[in-house]
Structure 1
């Protein structure tokens, strides 16, 4: 990895932490130059513009998500896999950035850019969340195929319910007793899946 690649990586590392704290919309060329002790020109040399930089940050975050959440969740039993996936997903940002008070940067970005229809960042956030929902749906499909969950309910509907539980958890985990939020979420996931078990 050459110096330019190392600098770009450091920009993305610092920016994903910052956006997990303050939101992606708060990320500007000026913000990043201060975070990384670089000149504005030094930051601009790595990205076409602010939107491209924000998308690169989300892509970097997605790569972290695959490494920290999706890959370690793998289980041979498909239902155990889904439960493990949701467990890893519950607090992945706080596990990654222990020294910071953070929340999911993807959800922050979806909310921040939802009313900006012409934004490339908004388009990317929607595609990103759809990839995640599709992945979860495929995991549910596998549970149905192996007779772990009922085929009477559409897999998309079950995945949507699990996804919605996570969204609620991501927002409320900082408004309820911190020691209780993770347990409440995991218990909710278990109850939801139990009602669909064969």
Structure 2
């Protein structure tokens, strides 16, 4: 990574922290120049406009979320284990990271502000929902979730659980936020899991062969 790219990434790291606390609208070239001890002209050469800066901050946060939540989950076994891993990594970044906080606040900030930033937020959120639904589908393919379970509905419910968790944890300082989120997550899973007796029915019966062996 060259010096220019290192500088750009350092600025984006600072900008993402500001945006997570104060909103994307609070980002300005001048403020970031003061925070990073760089010239306004130097920062303008990197980002050209406030809107371009906002879009780059979203891309930075998106990459972090993929690296810290999505990619580690996909490295887990397909199916239920992968969905559980997604929840665990997501809860971790939501409680201690900045990316999810930024996306949540930005979604409320720009939900009624048409333009490129809102359009990108819509794409990012739809991509996330698609990723959740696809992980859930692997559980159906593995025979762990019911064949008639709705992947998009599960994605909707999990996203709602996580939003409630971040609200309770970060705003309300609810000491039971993690416990409540886990109970809600397990309830959503339980509604989709294949019953043990159905799993048994799907497993080839080895009894006749065992009886012949005796």
Equivalent residues of 2:80, 2:144 under 8 A apart: yes
- Whether 2:123 is the aligned partner of 1:112: answer no
- State the shift of 1:39 in Å: 1.8
Match for residue 86 of structure 2?
85
What pairs up with 1:35-184 in 2 under 5 angstroms?
35-73=35-73, 74-96=75-97, 104-117=101-114, 119-184=115-180
Change (3 A) 1:15 1:84: same
- Higher Cα radius of gyration: 2
- State the shift of 1:94 in Å: 4.2
Whichever structure has more helix as a proportion of its residues is: 2
What CA distance in whole angstroms lies between the structure 1 residues aligned with 2:16 and 2:51? 14
User: SS in structure 2 opposite 1:104?
Assistant: helix
Match for residue 17 of structure 1?
17
What CA distance in whole angstroms lies between the structure 2 residues aligned with 1:155 and 1:133? 9
What CA distance in whole angstroms lies between the structure 2 residues aligned with 1:124 and 1:70? 18
What CA distance in whole angstroms lies between the structure 2 residues aligned with 1:183 and 1:68? 22
What CA distance in whole angstroms lies between the structure 1 residues aligned with 2:90 and 2:77? 18
- State the shift of 1:45 in Å: 0.7
Moved more, 62-71 or 167-176: 167-176
Higher relative contact order (CA 8 A, sep 6+): 1
Change (3 A) 1:40 1:57: same
TM-score by length of 2: 0.84
Name structure 2 gaps, 5 residues minimum: 195-214
Query: Aligned pairs, how many?
Result: 193
Match for residue 187 of structure 2?
191
What CA distance in whole angstroms lies between the structure 2 residues aligned with 1:186 and 1:27? 35
- State the shift of 1:12 in Å: 0.6
Equivalent residues of 1:16, 1:105 under 8 A apart: yes
What CA distance in whole angstroms lies between the structure 1 residues aligned with 2:171 and 2:109? 20
| CA deviation profile, 1:4-49 (whole Å, cap 9, x unmatched) | 1111010111111111122111111122112211121121110121
What is the Cα-based RMSD across aligned positions, in Å?
Answer: 1.8
TM-score by length of 1: 0.90
Equivalent residues of 1:87, 1:186 under 8 A apart: no
Change (3 A) 1:175 1:49: closer
Equivalent residues of 2:20, 2:102 under 8 A apart: yes
Equivalent residues of 2:12, 2:60 under 8 A apart: yes
Equivalent residues of 2:95, 2:166 under 8 A apart: no
